[in-house]
Structure 1
């Protein structure tokens, strides 16, 4: 018997998925527990409409995500940090600091849990972070760590040579 799942069912499928199950399982468990509905013509038509709406929504979200990625890749986000005399920063840069900088400088609110820093950041300069937008949409962005007094990674090295 073919049924359309309403909720996620372990080892069977996700919501709005058409699956084939034994008729006893469908009639005695899935349908009474409101986990699925019978795959009749009207329910199949509703499923098709839901899938069209979902595809349209995903396409608009993908377009919005691409716009955000373009803005983030256009110029690196700048973060300020307290530094010692050698150009090393006190502590390290966190995903929360990157999320705040993106919100302040670019105007996009990205959850800090979606941001991961490629390497531990302990010194000034340009570094990389990845942002996971979901659905295997991952992008890598650059961010620059500068000192509170405006010094960059090149400044301490230039002073050392002089």
Structure 2
């Protein structure tokens, strides 16, 4: 089955890529979750617009990615959220919260899908997350979670 990916699928490809997958995987997983659409000749224009949007979001080259990684490493990111007396959060910190906090701290605009949280952030204190800026560059970011 030939499909066009609409979002990034780990181990398969990026948005706008044309992939060949088994029928069941495409029909039962990718298409219902809107990770992909069926490939047709008319979908070529959709591929072009998806790739254009991806290129606008993506960091162009390795040098730029290393520069942004340097900016992220020097950044002091503080995130205020509701927490109990013991320091346990009501809920958890999401990748969207982190992307907003980085931007508020004066950092670059990050795509939330590029932020990797190893362990769920459910307590106050300092936590380290990783940001995939480029296939070869991942920048660590320290997030200080404070009770509000």
TM range (shorter): 0.5 to 0.7
Structure with greater proportional helix content: 1
For residues 119 and 146 of structure 1, do their structure 2 counterparts lie closer, same or farther at Cα, with a shift above 3 Å needed? same
- Name the TM-score, length of structure 1 as normaliser: 0.52
Q: Which has the higher contact order (CA 8 A, sep 6+)?
A: 2
Q: Is the 8 A contact 2:99 2:111 kept in 1?
A: yes
1:106 aligns with 2:106: yes
How far residue 76 of structure 1 moved from its aligned partner, in angstroms, is 3.2
RMSD over aligned Cα atoms: 2.3
Residue by residue over 1:19-65, the C-alpha shift from the partner in whole angstroms, topping out at 9 and shown as x without a partner, is xxxxxxxxxxxxxxxxxxxxxxxxxxxxxxxxxxxxxxx9x732222
Over 3 Å counting, the alpha-carbon distance change for 1:111 and 1:89 in structure 2 is same
* Aligned partner of residue 90 in structure 2, secondary structure: coil
Deviation at 1:106, TM superposition (A): 2.3
Who wins on radius of gyration, i.e. which is larger? 1
| Kept after mapping to 1: 8 A contact 2:72/2:140 | no
Q: Which residue of 2 aligns with 1:97?
A: 97
Q: Which has the higher strand share?
A: 2
Q: Distance in 1 between matches of 2:134 and 2:119?
A: 21
Q: Which residue of 1 aligns with 2:137?
A: 137
Stretches of structure 2 that go unaligned for 5 or more consecutive residues are 1-16, 21-58
Q: How many residues align?
A: 94
Which consecutive residues of structure 1, in runs of 5 or more, have no partner in the other structure? 1-7, 12-57, 149-162
Distance 1:87 1:120 in 2: 14
2:61 alignment partner in structure 1: 61
Query: Does the 8 Å contact 1:116/1:129 carry over to 2?
Result: yes
